[in-house]
């Protein structure tokens, strides 16, 4: 196995390019050749935030296709201005490099009727187009470059891909910044990478949802052009001004739509089966807050055991902003002897300091293991299948009180790998804070019970004569609705 990328880099450097190490690695891997002399990958993808130097890699690929690899290449972009700029840069490089200019055909630069193209004396051609639903039909090419692939539609891809089919060894390249809810095609490419699809070379830079988005170390890790092409001072400015958009625009966190036919993480039928609006807690109560990354919405959820031993989870408040949360948590702990737990990686983790100021104790801060185990626990408790095919599924061991906020959060939720399991994935405009808070509240009860098993309360002190010196007070079970957790203090 070898790569045509080394010669492509040498050609580019002879034409004046100064490439970063990551650009070289991407070109070498993308132009890798397998043992049979065909491309190692029929598809190559790169997702990186703007201004990191993505366009330079595209220019190198176009030059290599024309002058080294003897292949026709078509470059497409979502915006005409993008296609125009890239054409002008490639044209300028050829015109300023005598060896390349000598290979350009007479009248080899085409600028007519909105078309842009380059033709060599060998007959090889590069075209630069704005994508349409019919833009590629009727032509055969060796390379298809899909720039601004975050805006590539399924119809456009259907028009473009067939033109590769006549070539014996075609290759298509997806180049993009992080996509949004409309990025169906790019979302499928990302899922193919995550599923380990063969024939795809993937380079992507993105933050994890648990990262501190304001940390320069995260900016550096997610921007290969940092600190030269993307400067620390500009990242700091974007962080202040872009708000929630900073995660996508600078840190590469996409908000991709579900795949066609992809169901809820917990099947809706199972979720509906676990709904019990009359459910009540009779045991210790755990309360967990959570919020959207942009802090526009936040949630409080509680959990505890029911009389039948099954777990009850409930969102008691879902509201705009976060300013209401600390006072609301304080009221709950004063009235209901609630145990508060928080994920230190949650957008709501700032509450720890606020609650200390209010004399509210945060008993437990969830670890990474807790976050992943909580998600598996919730899924298993609601969607467990029968161990024997054909047998009835067991009833859910976790029940919820429903509500539009919690159900909508599940409907829009997706997952992300976390160590050897998974966790809920925060992305885009969707607010899954009700689901995250409810999941962790239930798991908090499990942790609380484990602590009690390790350190049970001491037995009552009794007199030697057999009579109790201290008679324990009469104990009664405390029901959630006795103190009206859902409305207390709100």
Q: What is the pTM of this model?
A: 0.71
Using one digit for the tens of pLDDT, what is the confidence trace for 275-296? 999 999 998 999 999 999 889 9
Paired residues of 120 in beta bridges? 104
Residues 239 and 327 in one domain: no
Q: How many domains does the chain have?
A: 2
Residues 274 and 217 in one domain: no
Paired residues of 174 in beta bridges? 45, 146
> Is residue 484 a part of any domain in this protein?
no
Residues 304 and 187 in one domain: no
- pLDDT at residue number 249: 95
Which CATH number belongs to the domain containing residue 320 in this structure? 3.30.420.240
First-residue to last-residue Cα distance in the chain: 66
Using one digit for the tens of pLDDT, what is the confidence trace for 58-86? 999 999 999 999 999 999 999 999 999 99
> Is residue 488 a part of any domain in this protein?
no
> Is residue 258 a part of any domain in this protein?
no
- pLDDT at residue number 418: 84
CA distance 125 to 121: 10
What is the average pLDDT value for the chain, to the nearest integer?
90
- DSSP for 129-187? EE--TTTTTT---SEEEETTGGG--HHHHHHHGGGGTTSSS-EEEEEES---TT-HHHH
Using one digit for the tens of pLDDT, what is the confidence trace for 120-178? 999 999 999 999 887 555 557 999 999 999 999 999 999 999 989 889 999 999 999 99
Last residue of a domain, one of 202, 218, 251: 251
Report whether 63 contacts 219 (CB < 8 A).
no
Say how many C-beta atoms besides its own lie within 10 A of residue 456's C-beta: 8
Last residue of a domain, one of 224, 251, 278: 251
pLDDT at 303 over 60: yes
Output the furthest CA–CA distance in the chain (Å, rounded).
115
Q: How distant is the alpha carbon of residue 175 from its chain centre?
A: 18
Torsion of CA 322, 326, 331, 337, to 10 degrees: 120
Query: Angle at CA 430, nearest 5°, toward 428 and 434?
Result: 135
Q: How many C-alpha atoms does 269 have within 13 Å on its Cβ side?
A: 4
> Is residue 337 a part of any domain in this protein?
yes
> Is residue 465 a part of any domain in this protein?
no
> Is residue 479 a part of any domain in this protein?
no
Residues in the chain: 490
Query: Angle at CA 364, nearest 5°, toward 360 and 366?
Result: 130
Using one digit for the tens of pLDDT, what is the confidence trace for 449-486? 998 887 776 666 554 444 433 334 443 333 333 344 44
Report whether 135 contacts 81 (CB < 8 A).
no
Q: Tell me if residue 315 falls in helix, strand or coil.
A: strand
Residues 18 and 68 in one domain: yes
**Domain, as residue range, for 301:** 268-454
Residues 187 and 277 in one domain: no
CA distance 337 to 284: 8
Residues 286 and 243 in one domain: no
Report whether 77 contacts 131 (CB < 8 A).
yes
Last residue of a domain, one of 202, 225, 251: 251
> Is residue 163 a part of any domain in this protein?
yes
Residues 180 and 217 in one domain: yes
Using one digit for the tens of pLDDT, what is the confidence trace for 31-57? 999 999 999 999 999 999 999 999 999
Residues 158 and 290 in one domain: no
CA distance 260 to 264: 12
Using one digit for the tens of pLDDT, what is the confidence trace for 181-205? 889 999 999 999 988 999 999 999 9
Residues 292 and 342 in one domain: yes
Residues 289 and 411 in one domain: yes
> Is residue 463 a part of any domain in this protein?
no
Residues 243 and 286 in one domain: no
Mean per-residue pLDDT for 373-377? 96
Which CATH number belongs to the domain containing residue 178 in this structure? 3.40.50.300
Residues 83 and 193 in one domain: yes
């Amino acid at each position: 196995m070898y790569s045509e990328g080394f010669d492509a880099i040498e050609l580019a450097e002879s034409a004046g390019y100064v490439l970063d190490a990551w650009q070289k690695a991407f070109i070498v891997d993308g132009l890798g050749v397998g043992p049979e002399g065909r491309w190692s990958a029929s598809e190559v993808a790169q997702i990186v935030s703007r201004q990191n130097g993505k366009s330079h890699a595209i220019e190198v690929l176009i030059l290599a296709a024309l002058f080294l690899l003897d292949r026709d290449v078509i470059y497409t972009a979502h915006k005409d201005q993008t296609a125009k700029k890239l054409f002008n840069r490639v044209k300028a490089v050829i015109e300023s490099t005598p060896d390349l200019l000598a290979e350009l055909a007479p009248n080899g630069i085409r600028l007519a009727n909105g078309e842009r193209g380059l033709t060599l004396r060998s007959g090889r051609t590069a075209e630069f187009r704005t994508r349409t639903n019919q833009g590629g039909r009727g032509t055969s090419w060796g390379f298809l470059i899909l720039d601004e692939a975050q805006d590539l539609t399924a119809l456009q891809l259907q028009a473009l891909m067939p033109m590769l089919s006549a070539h014996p060894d075609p290759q298509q390249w997806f180049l993009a910044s992080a996509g949004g809810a409309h990025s169906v095609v790019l979302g499928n490419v990302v899922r193919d990478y995550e599923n380990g699809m063969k024939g795809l070379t993937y380079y992507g830079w993105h933050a994890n949802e648990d990262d501190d988005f304001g940390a320069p170390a995260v900016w550096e890790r997610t921007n290969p052009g940092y600190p030269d092409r993307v400067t620390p001072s500009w990242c700091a400015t974007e962080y202040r001004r872009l708000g929630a958009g900073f995660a996508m625009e600078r840190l590469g966190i996409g908000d991709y739509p579900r795949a066609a036919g992809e169901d809820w993480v917990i099947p809706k039928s199972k979720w509906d089966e676990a709904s019990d609006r009359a459910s009540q807690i009779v045991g210790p109560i755990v309360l967990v807050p959570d919020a959207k990354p942009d802090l526009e919405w936040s949630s409080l959820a509680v959990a505890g055991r029911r009389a039948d031993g099954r777990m009850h989870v409930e969102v008691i408040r879902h509201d705009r902003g976060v300013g209401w949360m600390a006072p609301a948590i304080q009221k709950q702990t004063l009235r209901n002897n609630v145990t508060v737990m928080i994920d230190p990686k949650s957008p709501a983790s700032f509450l720890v300091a606020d609650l200390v100021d209010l004399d509210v104790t945060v008993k437990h801060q969830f670890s990474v293991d807790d976050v992943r185990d909580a998600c598996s626990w919730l899924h298993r408790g609601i969607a467990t299948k029968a161990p024997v095919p054909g047998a009835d599924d067991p009833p859910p061991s976790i029940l919820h009180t429903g509500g539009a906020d919690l159900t909508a959060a599940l409907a829009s939720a997706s997952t992300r790998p976390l160590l050897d399991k998974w966790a809920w994935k925060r992305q885009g405009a969707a607010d899954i804070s009700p689901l995250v808070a409810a999941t962790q509240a239930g798991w908090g009860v499990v942790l609380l019970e484990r602590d009690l098993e390790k350190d049970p309360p001491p037995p009552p002190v009794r007199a030697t004569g057999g009579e109790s010196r201290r008679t324990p007070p009469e104990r009664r079970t405390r029901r959630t609705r006795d103190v009206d957790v859902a409305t207390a203090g709100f």
